[in-house]
Every structure is written in structure tokens, then in C-alpha cells.
Amino acid sequence: MKWSSEYKAARDILYIEKDTEAALELFKTEAQKGNVLAMFEAGKILEKDNAEQAARYYKSALDGFIFVEPQARKIRPFVQYRIGKMHNYGLGTDRDFGKAFEWFEKAAAAENKYAQYSLGSLYYYGNGTEQNFEKAFELYRKSADKGNAYGCYQAAKMLESGMGTEIDTELSAEYFKKAYSGFLLIEKNTNNADMQYRLGVMTLKGIGCDADIFKAAEFFIKSADNGNVHAAYRLGKIYLSDDLKNLELAEKYLKIAAEKDDPYAMYSLAKLYLGGEIPMRKDEAVTLLEKSARLGNTASSYALGKLYLFGREIEKNIAKAKEWLEISAAAGNEYAKNLLENMDSYNHSAVQSAAASLLNSLGRMLYEDYSTAKRKGQYK
């Protein structure tokens, strides 16, 4: 098991030149020669469009890793880590956190920084073992001190919050900076959409670096162009903001995300179509809100309820207003509950305009940016 020149060339074609088909053919050729790493990469490429064939390649890769592990010598901890990773994600086998834990523990004991990070995550989330934040932090920090950017990021988060360790904002800032530098290097070498998105978020918020919305937008553009739907949504929101306002680009990127079934992009795009800054598109807006609401976005069901209740942008329909507000209220939207309880007074002509204005303001405050909720599970 080695990084042959052909395997390296295939990786460059995949991650730098972004030619998936050419890379897959090279990986397949290498896999036929018994290259276990190439088997794994072939499975990774095929996973999206041909799950059955991907599973076969993953299974061959796992069997290969297990076969070479006893005699792997210097790279044995790396092989153990790869076996653990495949059990952790259910690649070529059933997902089994317990087995993942066993393999990660072996590799971590041999000081493999990636296994230390992965084992830390099992402790952090309580997968395959009892949840233990102190042990998680210990392993994240060991991984970080060996130069693993992911370990740096997780250690920084725990130092910032005091989870599993004492709060130390100064040390947290140092680890965030190391994480950011490490992620920059990974992005340069891989052109990875998820890493570009991560860097965009960190740059936008000034995590490990100076906040810079213009540089953040550059990372999001790269990520969106590489297919990351979250980056497209972020760009849409950025181009709606006063800092980089460009309604044409905002619509472009929100449409990209909406077409990939992002309910929050649908909501934001509908708001743009009804907001008066571009020609109104009532029918498209209602369709987007309905799709978004059916995907569970309570902001959209609430917005539909208001539209039908006040009957300004679309024809008034009290029955539909009540239906959508009940859906939103049932999902926990307090503003929808309040509107349902006071529908008669809000519908009265003397207060209708003022109430609509108030509710619009409240809606903006509550739903302007969904990313806070999404961010909680973003960097596992």
C-alpha cells in the first residue's frame, strides 16, 4: 500500500484539476493493481451516483486495509486509523462506532494525530463510548499540538466555552489561528468545497483571522461553484446586505440554493420577490414559500399565513391564513400563535396596516439569518 506516481496523479486530477471522470479511470486502473488507497478513492467518487458500485470498492478497500494492517510496520497506525474511519462512517461495512472506537484507540495510542482527533470526537458525542468532554479535549489538544487543523479548531472551541477544560480565551484564540492557517493549506491543496465554505464562515466572523466580508465572499464563491449549497445561500444573504449589496447576484445564488431544496434560500428568495426592490413576482414567491414550509421552515408557513390574512400582495383568504398559521404555530412559532389568537383584531381595517408592519419587523428579527441554528452542528 503506497502512494504510487499514478495514484498521486489521479489525486491531482481530482482535487486540483477537478476532472472527476479522468481521475476515476486512473483510480480504477490503480485499484485493479491492488492499490487499496485507490479503491477507497474510487468508492468515494462513485458514492453519489452509483452506491452499489461504490460499496464494492469500499468493501475491497476495507478488506485490503485489514489484510495489510498486521505487517504495515511504520504506517500501521495510519492503516488502523483508516479502518476505524470506515467503521465510523459505514463505508464498506455496517456503521459501528464500537469497532471504530477500538481501531481509533489503537492508532491514537501510537500517536496518530488523525486517530486522536477522531477518538476525541467519539468521546465528545458519546458514540461507541460514554460521553466524556474532558477526554475529548485531551485528545483534541494532543491532535492539535501535532499540527492537525481540525484538532486545533475543536480544542479552540472547548477552550472558548470551558467545555471539558477551563476557559482560556487567549489560548483559544491561538488555536483558532492555527486552525485557520491549517485550513488554508488544506484548501490550497484540495480545492475542497466544504473547506472553502468553512473558511468563508471563519473569515466572515473573524474566527482565527480578521473579519473580512469581501474575502469571505471569495471563499463562498469558490465553494458554491464547487457545488456547496450552504455557500450559495450565504452568498445570497451577503449580496442582500448593505456591505456588498447586489440584488442580481443575490437572486442568482439564492436560486442556486433553492433549486437544491434549501428551504431557507427559498424563504429569502420569496422575500426578495415580494420586497419591492425588484419587480414583484407574487406567484413565484408563494410557490417558494409553500415548498419551504413543506420542508419544515416555520418562517415560511408564518409568512404565508400573513400574506393570506392581510391580502395585500395576494388575494385575501382567511381559511388559508389560518391553515398556514396553525402549521407554523404547531412547530413552535410564537408569533404565529399570537397572530392566531388575535386574528380578528389584526384583520380589522383600522389596525391592519400597523399590525402588518409590526409583524413584518418581528419576522425579520426572528428569521433574518438561519445560520445560527445550522452552525451548531456545522463542524463536527
Q: Give the tens place of pLDDT for each residue, 102-131.
A: 999 999 999 999 999 999 999 999 999 999
In a domain, 190, yes or no: no
Give the tens place of pLDDT for each residue, 23-32.
999 999 999 9
Give the model's pLDDT for residue 50: 94
Place of cell 418562517: 299
In a domain, 356, yes or no: yes
> Which residues constitute the domain of residue 358?
213-375
Domain count, the chain: 1
Give the tens place of pLDDT for each residue, 314-358.
999 999 999 999 999 999 999 999 998 888 776 654 345 544 554
Contact 1, 79 (CB under 8 A): yes
Give the model's pLDDT for residue 4: 86
In a domain, 371, yes or no: yes
Rounded distance, CA 69 to CA 61, Å? Answer: 12
**Mean of the per-residue pLDDT values of the chain:** 91
In a domain, 13, yes or no: no
Contact 150, 119 (CB under 8 A): no
Question: Residue 373 pLDDT > 90, yes or no?
Answer: no
In a domain, 147, yes or no: no
Give the model's pLDDT for residue 360: 54
pTM here is: 0.84
Over residues 63-77, the mean pLDDT reads 95
Give the model's pLDDT for residue 16: 78
C-alpha cell belonging to residue 173: 484564540
C-alpha cell belonging to residue 303: 409568512
Over residues 228-246, the mean pLDDT reads 96
Q: Where residue 346 sits, what CATH number does that domain have?
A: 1.25.40.10
In a domain, 132, yes or no: no
Contact 199, 180 (CB under 8 A): yes
Give the tens place of pLDDT for each residue, 170-221.
999 999 999 999 999 999 988 889 999 999 999 999 999 999 999 999 999 9
C-alpha cell belonging to residue 190: 484540495
